[in-house]
């Protein structure tokens, strides 16, 4: 497979990205944290290609990125009120919320009855997600490899494994999002990130 790097400002960049997704292909693009690789969330074969590109173990679920808060109902069901509160406080931003997944999502997305969702705070990512809709997205690196902060770093790890990289410059963040399980009586941080437990607790302090 030939991997093409296309500058985000190229006049055909978005059209090319959407066409790649429509064909079941993978697109790499910058987010507010690290570069990600995305595929259409309604296509099991496209999601399988994400796992292959990263050499990612099947038991490690792939999150979903959204362009709009109202898209949450397309990928999640019976979302806890705490998740809505945290989304209101920190989206768009580096917070992934683990919530009950919608039964329409392909089983290959992950073995659990939950899904991780977030809205990234990056203009290119948001433009792509708003043009296409929710995407299955994971970090643009081989499993066990370093997080990628530029198109060149993505190319170094995934050349030959994905068809398209949108070059939007270096990512402004560099640290993967904080992952929070919202399915229990109390929230639980599953992965530390830019947002601390104190940040989350303060957002919920006056909510209950």
Domain range for 53 is 4-77+101-173
Convert the pLDDT of each residue in 26-54 to its tens digit: 999 999 999 999 999 999 999 999 999 99
Convert the pLDDT of each residue in 124-164 to its tens digit: 999 999 999 999 999 999 999 999 999 999 999 999 999 99
* 50 part of a folded domain: yes
User: How many independent structural domains does the chain possess?
Assistant: 1
Convert the pLDDT of each residue in 191-202 to its tens digit: 999 999 999 999
How do beta strands 164-167 and 27-30 pair?
parallel
Convert the pLDDT of each residue in 157-186 to its tens digit: 999 999 999 999 999 998 999 999 999 989
pTM: 0.95
**Residues in CB range of 43: below 8 A, 6 or more apart:** 24, 106
What are 40's two structure tokens? 């259409």
Residue 36's CATH number:
3.90.870.10
* 91 part of a folded domain: no
């Amino acid at each position: 497979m030939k991997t093409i790097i296309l500058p985000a400002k190229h006049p055909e960049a978005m059209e090319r990205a959407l066409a790649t997704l429509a064909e079941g292909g993978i697109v790499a693009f910058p987010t507010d944290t690290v570069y990600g690789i995305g595929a259409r969330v309604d296509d099991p074969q496209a999601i399988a290609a994400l796992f292959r590109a990263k050499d990612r173990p099947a038991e490690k679920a792939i999150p979903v990125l959204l362009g709009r808060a109202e898209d949450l109902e397309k990928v999640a069901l019976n979302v806890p009120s705490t998740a809505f509160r945290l989304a209101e406080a920190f989206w768009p931003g580096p917070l992934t919320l683990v919530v009950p997944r919608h039964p329409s999502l392909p089983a290959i997305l992950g073995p659990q009855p939950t899904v991780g969702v977030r809205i990234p705070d990056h203009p290119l990512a948001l433009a792509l997600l708003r043009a296409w809709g929710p995407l299955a997205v994971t970090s643009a690196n081989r499993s066990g490899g370093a997080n990628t902060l530029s198109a060149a770093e993505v190319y170094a790890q995934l050349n030959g494994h994905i068809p398209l990289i949108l070059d939007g410059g270096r990512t402004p963040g560099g640290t993967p999002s904080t992952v929070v399980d919202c399915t229990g009586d109390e929230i639980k941080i599953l992965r530390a990130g830019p947002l601390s437990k104190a940040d989350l607790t303060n957002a919920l302090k006056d909510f209950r």
